[in-house]
Amino acid sequence: MFQDDDFNIFSVETLDERMQLIREKIGPKFEQSAAAILPVLNESGQQWYAHIAKHLRRTTNAPDNTWVAFAPNKRGYKMMPHFELGIWADRIYFYLAVEENMKPNDTQSIVTKMNAARDLIRSLPSDFVLSADHMINMSQSSNIQAYDDMVTRYHQVKHSEVLIGINILRGDQSFVQDTDLSQIITALKLLLPIYDVLK
């Protein structure tokens, strides 16, 4: 699936060249990933859809990351909790994402649900991470205090998000050996009970 030279795309400076490489190299891998991920999501009986980022609004700066999102809505994903598989210059990430687009209409509802998911968050493996913004390549180890702080910030700060999942850093053996996305599928199955609380 993903290989080490995929990360080199983000060293290409111009928008047109980087976007062409994203479409030619990463887009097909997102489609292959969706073929593995969607059947797991559809086991619930709910129809899920893959949304590959197009970056259509970009006219000057090349994207620093790109992603495919998964949601039970054919028209979009940002207005609801969803899953996101993406790539930065140094890592692959897979998150369960609650983004700022749910505010302000659904803020109180989703915050209540995120608080209800605390015990499930607490039980996640130690290699899971939290992120406050899917557009910034920054994450921290997952622990319940950090999660509580992030949920509070989501409630109080307009431009904030809550994402939880895994990072697979460039150089990891999975980029040589993992042809079936086993790490991603394992993370997805651990995150699904949390999604069920948030949906």
Give the model confidence (pLDDT) of 143-174 as tens digits. 999 999 999 999 999 999 999 999 999 998 87
Residue 193 to residue 188: CA distance in whole angstroms: 9
- Considering the entire predicted model, what is its pTM? 0.95
- Average pLDDT over every residue of 173-198: 89
- Average pLDDT over every residue of 112-128: 97
Give the chain's length.
199
Which pLDDT belongs to residue 141? 96
pLDDT digits (tens, 9 = 90+) for 25-51: 999 999 999 999 999 999 999 999 999
Give domain limits for the chain. Answer: 4-198
Decide if pLDDT at 185 tops 70.
Answer: yes
Q: What is the CATH superfamily name and number for domain 4-198?
A: Protein of unknown function DUF1054 (3.30.930.20)
Least confident residue range of 8-17, 57-66, 115-124, 174-183: 174-183
Decide if pLDDT at 179 tops 80.
Answer: no
Which pLDDT belongs to residue 99? 96
CB 9 within 8 A of CB 23: no
Contacts 24+ apart (CB under 8 A), 188-196: 188/37, 188/40, 188/41, 188/83, 188/94, 189/40, 190/124, 190/125, 190/128, 191/83, 191/96, 191/164, 191/165, 192/41, 192/44, 193/120, 194/96, 194/117, 194/120, 194/121, 194/164, 195/81, 195/83, 195/96
